[in-house]
Structure 1
């Protein structure tokens, strides 16, 4: 008699636990596009403007140095016939040194731009991740992914919360500025 009561009771209890597991909330997934945030957010636009200004400044310096090298080359060509062999070799060496300096300057400026861009991108990325974490907790998201990094091939528009993140980021950026 005891066995006939215990078996159904265990089955009923097991069924209750199984039903509650199947009744769990549906996963809420969000997706953001960091690329779109860089293009449309206030901070992204300021970053692009600053990087463009810095690039123009560095290109101006490079062009000035390039002009000096061209002028030296033209002067050497004009004076080549009247210069002594020793003076001519000295000027050619100076010209090669200036050309090498120009190449090094170009390389240094390229590296400087990459470092500046990475620094600014990392700061924006950190800010966006903080905002996404806050939004995720506040709105009950199970998962928020970045579109490009996650390799998303298709996502419904309902899952894209990029505009919401941009709106929040713009307000946060305006307060901090």
Structure 2
């Protein structure tokens, strides 16, 4: 018997053993919608409220500046007929500079809110992950996936653990 024949026989025996064990072994797949958990647990709701409050405050500031620019544009439109070219150019440049400042401020606020969101959600996610592990073990699932990013197209046995995770998290982290 050559090495090649020996290896082929070994591979065939392994494949046959795997097929037999796969038929007798049922894998239970657990799934969790982590985004739903984040938005549903009490701590997640508090974070969402804090972020919304910060966002609304920033939005008010931006709205005031937007209104100021709009007023400048309207005034320019009315006065442009009686302005000389140099005054028109100066006023247009001033309006354009204010628009650029507003865009920069908007981008800065967006970054600030995203950083704030990451700062709060990262520790929350770590706690949620621990609860998912605990609920998965107690539910007897063999594998748990995040259902919104990796939906299970078919599984002989599947269990949605999302609501159990939410309840367990709120119970553990009051």
Output the TM-score relative to the length of structure 1: 0.70
What do the CA deviations read for 1:128-166 (whole angstroms, capped 9, x no partner)?
111112333455543222212332235689711211211
1:114: which partner in 2? 114
Question: Contact (CA 8 Å) 2:31, 2:144: kept in 1 or not?
Answer: yes
Superposed CA RMSD in Å reads 2.9
Correspondence 1:67-146 to 2 at 5 A:
67-138=67-138, 140-146=140-146
Output the TM-score relative to the length of structure 2: 0.71
The alignment status of 1:45 with 2:19, answered yes or no, reads: no
2:5: which partner in 1? none
Compared with structure 1, are the counterparts of its residues 119 and 131 closer, same or farther at alpha carbon in structure 2 (3 Å cutoff)?
same
The alignment status of 1:163 with 2:158, answered yes or no, reads: no
The range that moved more, 87-96 or 33-42, is: 33-42
2:13: which partner in 1? none
SS in 2 for 1:80: helix
The range that moved more, 90-99 or 34-43, is: 34-43
Distance in 2 between residues matched to 1:99 and 1:68, nearest whole Å: 10
How far apart are residue 63 of structure 1 and its match? Answer: 0.6
What do the CA deviations read for 1:8-41 (whole angstroms, capped 9, x no partner)?
xxxxxxxxxx9xx97x986554221113213322
What do the CA deviations read for 1:50-76 (whole angstroms, capped 9, x no partner)?
222222112111111101111111222
Residues matched between the structures, number: 154
Question: Contact (CA 8 Å) 2:51, 2:113: kept in 1 or not?
Answer: yes
> Structure 2: which 5+ residue stretches go unaligned?
1-16
Distance in 2 between residues matched to 1:156 and 1:137, nearest whole Å: 19
